[in-house]
Structure 1
Amino acid sequence: MTGRREVWFVTGATSGLGRAIAEDALAAGHTVIGTARRPERLAGLIAAYPDRLEAVGLDVTDGQEIDSVAADVLARYGRVDVLVNNAGRTQVGAFEETTDRELRDLFELHVFGPAQLTRALLPQMRERGSGAIVNISSFGGQLSFAGFSAYSATKAALEQLSEGLADEVTPFGISVLIVEPGAFRTNLFGEGAAHFSDEHPAYAETVGATRERVRTGDGTQPGDPAKAAEAIRMALEAENTPLRLALGGDAVDFLVGHLDSVRAELASWEKVSRGTDIDA
């Protein structure tokens, strides 16, 4: 991205990482369209930036609302330079505990909503020859563990959509950035923000530990949202924007460990894997 003033479109902008991203973009001189189901929560920030922040109501699981808001923003602003798909929530439950409804709702929020919003704004970026799409994933987009199978599944889907998208739109001057945060001091672990599936006693030991960490971890997360927002903007302003950006020491540690494990397992079974090719 260039150093000029840009129009940022940030979903889930009223709290947590979304709000930090909005605040950082505003402080850098950009214009922000901040969306949320309850946009009135941005009133304080609007008072500080009345000419460069607009709060818009948007439920990213409502397809008609997505298309309507995107069309209205493009009609009034003419462009969106940076789209940040940030809206989301925590979901905790064993695979067996997670209902079909819970899984589908989470995919609507983390995958289908961002996909539709991206499709709505992508044509003007492509035709203009510039733009950036930032998809907020998690280090859980590359790995998972007890209690987070559903959450990680949605983030993995978002990451693979993003990776393929990047290969398609880079020739048009569009950057795609997958952000993989660790635990940041946002409200994702806060009361009412995390969704827990009904418990099954068989998973008390494995998933129970994850539930306890989420229920008691609010306010103890090591990540600073303001520093995360600055890092995201730094990556977008870099000469070569990375495809993936891990945020937080915990994210880096988990990802390095996961990559080492995958490489070791691949090497251990390489002979068997290669042996399945048709004989010459």
Structure 2
Amino acid sequence: MNLTGRTVLVTGGTRGVGRALTRQLIGLGAHVVAVGRDPGHLADLTAEYGDRVSAEVVDLADPDAVDAFGDGLPARHPGLGVVINNAGVQNLGDFLTGDPRDTRQVLRRELAVNLDAVITLSTGLLPHLRDQPSAAIVNISSGLAVVPKASAPVYCAAKSAVRTFTRALRYQCEEAAPHIRVMDAVLPLVDTDMTAGRGRGKISPAEAARAVVDGIRRDRAEILVGKARLLPALMRIAPSVGYRALRHG
């Protein structure tokens, strides 16, 4: 897929992997619609890239806000052809300590960002994408969708659901709208604010974004990045090793 001249939606486009995706896509000549919750971070993007980026303030944890954003997006950006659902949040916690009522709303917001917003935007924008000559939906998941870790059950569950949803949606598009490519990008541990102080062997956001963009251009249904490329084989050959290795990741 040639990304030059395309309009690309990037959720979570102001920080981490999303910011790197925005930078690299603009470098390829794309126009990026960057979604973020913080107006200040979005203002920094527009100051840096001018009219090559369109800033959209959306709280992806608010289903009503996501509905309104997705419903109005095609009118504002009729050339939209690529959707990258990148935004994600991860909350660490031990469900056997404390009062679960204290974390209930936090966990629901985590699910809303990591799963509900992905499904809402992917399905809600399909009628528009179907009218484009070519299009792509790229959902960013994680190696933790394949092998979960103990400290973030809700994040792992949401990313696993994203992978399953993406594959099933790909099947539908292959049959009814083959010009819409549906891709799953599986990332390893990336050095972002979300992973600060945790883990070793991280890759940079720029490296992760480069692999995702390369996968889109090469029309890969599954984009396995860095160490995540090892997971499918490892889980076939020695799943106990994989579970043990990432349990406390």
TM range (shorter): 0.7 to 0.9
> Taking every aligned residue pair, what percent have the same amino acid on both sides?
28
Deviation at 1:262, TM superposition (A): 4.6
Match of 2:54 in 1: 54
Q: Under a length normalisation based on structure 1, what TM-score does the superposition of the two structures give?
A: 0.76
What SS is found at the alignment partner of 1:81?
A: strand
How well do the aligned residues superpose, as a CA RMSD in angstroms? 2.3
What stretches of structure 2 of length at least 5 have no aligned partner? 242-249
5 Å-filtered alignment, 1:240-279, equals 241-249=219-227, 251-262=228-239
Q: Distance in 2 between matches of 1:225 and 1:261?
A: 29
> What letter corresponds to residue 248 of structure 1 in structure 2?
G
Is 2:168 aligned against 1:217?
no
Deviation at 1:95, TM superposition (A): 5.2
Q: Distance in 1 between matches of 2:41 and 2:191?
A: 19
Match of 1:228 in 2: 208
Match of 1:186 in 2: 192
> What letter corresponds to residue 25 of structure 2 in structure 1?
A
Deviation readout 1:193-242 (Å, 9 max, x if unpaired):
xxxxxxxxxxxxxxxxxxxxxxx338x6520211221221111111xx22
Match of 2:72 in 1: 72
What SS is found at the alignment partner of 1:156?
A: helix
> What letter corresponds to residue 214 of structure 2 in structure 1?
M
Tell me if the contact between 2:87 and 2:114 (Cα under 8 Å) persists in the aligned partners.
Answer: yes
What SS is found at the alignment partner of 1:59?
A: coil
What SS is found at the alignment partner of 2:238?
A: helix
Q: Distance in 2 between matches of 1:20 and 1:175?
A: 22
Match of 1:174 in 2: 180
Deviation readout 1:228-268 (Å, 9 max, x if unpaired):
21221111111xx222222223x23444322323599xxxx
> What letter corresponds to residue 252 of structure 1 in structure 2?
R
Is 2:130 aligned against 1:152?
no
Q: Distance in 2 between matches of 1:3 and 1:86?
A: 17
Q: How many residues align?
A: 235
Deviation readout 1:172-210 (Å, 9 max, x if unpaired):
1111111111111111124xxxxxxxxxxxxxxxxxxxx
Tell me if the contact between 1:135 and 1:177 (Cα under 8 Å) persists in the aligned partners.
Answer: yes
Match of 1:107 in 2: 111
- Distance change in 2, residues 1:151/1:3 (3 Å): closer
Deviation readout 1:38-82 (Å, 9 max, x if unpaired):
132133332232121111100112222223222333112213211
5 Å-filtered alignment, 1:194-209, equals none
What stretches of structure 1 of length at least 5 have no aligned partner? 191-215, 265-280
Q: Under a length normalisation based on structure 2, what TM-score does the superposition of the two structures give?
A: 0.85
- Distance change in 2, residues 1:3/1:14 (3 Å): closer
What SS is found at the alignment partner of 2:55?
A: strand
Match of 1:7 in 2: 7
Tell me if the contact between 1:95 and 1:147 (Cα under 8 Å) persists in the aligned partners.
Answer: no
Q: Distance in 1 between matches of 2:6 and 2:202?
A: 30
